[in-house]
Amino acid sequence: MSSFPESSTPGQANASFLQALGLKPVNAGVSTGLQWQEGGGELIHSYSPADGKLIGSVKTATRADYDAVMETAAQAFKVWRVMPAPKRGEIVRQFGEKLRQYKADLGKLVSYEMGKSLQEGLGEVQEMIDICDFAVGLSRQLYGLTIHSERARHRMYEQWHPLGIVGIITSFNFPVAVWSWNTAIAWVCGNVCVWKPSEKTPLSAVACQQIFAEVLRENNLPEGISCLVVGNYRVGEFLSTDERVPLVSATGSTRMGKIVGQTVAARLGRSLLELGGNNAIIVTPNADLKLTVIGAVFGAVGTCGQRCTTTRRLIIHESIYETVKQRLAEAYGQLKIGNPLDAGNHVGPLIDQDAVNMYLRAIDEAKQSGAKMVVEGGVLQGEGFQSGCYVKPCIIEAQEQYAVVKRETFAPILYLLKYSTLEEAIALQNDVPQGLSSAIMTTNLREAELFLSHEGSDCGIANVNIGTSGAEIGGAFGGEKETGGGRESGSDSWKAYMRRQTNTINYGSDLPLAQGIVFNL
């Protein structure tokens, strides 16, 4: 058992940062970059999970609103695609500078609307800045290959062209960063973007669109390069079924991703899917336990367990199991839970009451399966917790066969599992439907290399002596199996936003045919 210390009360939200971002009590939720349409759909309300207070409301899009946006985006693409890539990169650079200017206000809004800690909110905006910097450099490196032809005086090469309109569907847990991962890269590749944000965090999306609009105006660029369509799942259906959208990038649950993937595939479109994770850290007898505890605790409770890269399973060698369990319980006892705008707190609230109920059901199922509580969970009540969304991060001793352990629960629940051999630990880690992030804590070179080999982790991300969360934008981000197989952000992920074309040029006076075929006329 572990008790949690008292924390501060959220109190009255300061509205100054909302005003600085151009937000009003009721915002339009349909934008083509320069023009805002009120939207003919329903009014959705954004309540902060920090204190339960209404932040603002947004008018959502109808099908007619959506079609109008798509027409504007299609016209903008004709202009944007002919602008040289480095000049498109310059526009992205300016957007990154605007984000630096608005970092404090946007970060605070992200924290207040989503519920993540202020440092995480600021960190999310920093990720946006970082991907803009990355994309600026990329705008001068959209390279192809030169290929030797089997025919004399012929040259073959490949080049890459923009796709057109890229649809982006994002989740509430990273309400702005994941959009930027997609859009900054898509922009420098010559695409225009239509964004459907989570209806749980619409104001953060409206604010981003306001910020980019300043860049459009200052450069006399047409509207339609960046579009926003706020709405529920039906807007996602519009994008998924629309043949005008060659690529749909969707971040969210595996259930959602399967629907999007199947729908887009039915029209032979492309989808880039970033879905669920059930991430594990293997702790060997050769682990540095100080690093292990820091990595495991941050991975498990950061964003209140609402990251796709959250550490959900800790697979510990039997010889150090009790020691690690005790140190984790002690660390959990030092966690401060409360107002995410208070930099002294480690853990904020879950996003809403549905998330709280999911958290409680998972704990109950684990107990019914025979699991033992190391650190008890529960909903926090009383002063400072009136929103009903604050929960205790918990630790549960479990068995690998429990069904609840193999599912992703978007909440701060950490399952402890015991192993005897490293091969057994790797098998345990891989024996879940998801394959996003993974880590091993060890100072033994052989253990680390086995974990990173083709016999080791089956995840898209595999780390040594760091946790499962906190990916850098320089590397490709994504996972395998039910995580969807998509790759965003760094490395050569830009190729997902372009179409490849192979070209052959004959600069001779004859026309030799491939494979030596003779065709006499």
Active site residues: 274, 308
One-letter amino acid at 237 equals E
> What is the amino acid identity at position 165?
I
Handedness of CA 222, 180, 227, 101 (dihedral sign): negative
Residue 61 structure tokens: 């899009």
- The residue with tokens 């259930």 is 255
Question: Which residue in this structure is represented by tokens 């369509």?
Answer: 229
* CA-atom Rg of the chain in angstroms: 25
Among 241, 239, 212, 215, residue whose Cα is nearest residue 226: 212
Count the Cβ atoms, other than its own, within 10 Å of residue 436. 28
Among residues 383, 384, 307, the alpha carbon closest in space to that of 340 is found at 384
Residue type, 384: G
Closest CA to 250 of 308, 164, 189: 308
3-state SS record for 435-491: ECEEEEECCCHHHHHHHHCCCCCCCCEEEECCCCCCCCCCCEECCEECCCCCCEECC
Instruction: Please report where in the chains the tokens 């006892």 appear, as a residue.
Output: 333
**138, 197, 204 from 236: Cα distances, Å:** 29, 9, 18
What crossing angle do the helices spanning 177-188 and 85-114 adopt, rounded to 10°? 170
Angle at 516 (CA atoms; ends 513, 519), nearest 5 degrees: 55
List Cβ neighbours of 387 (8 Å cut-off, separation of 6 or more). 10, 47, 48, 49, 50, 51, 52, 349
Return all residues near 216 (Cβ < 8 A) that are at least 6 apart: 33, 34, 222, 223, 225, 226
**Cα separation values, 52 from 46, 113, 153, Å:** 9, 10, 71
- Torsion sign (Cα): 132, 135, 139, 141: positive
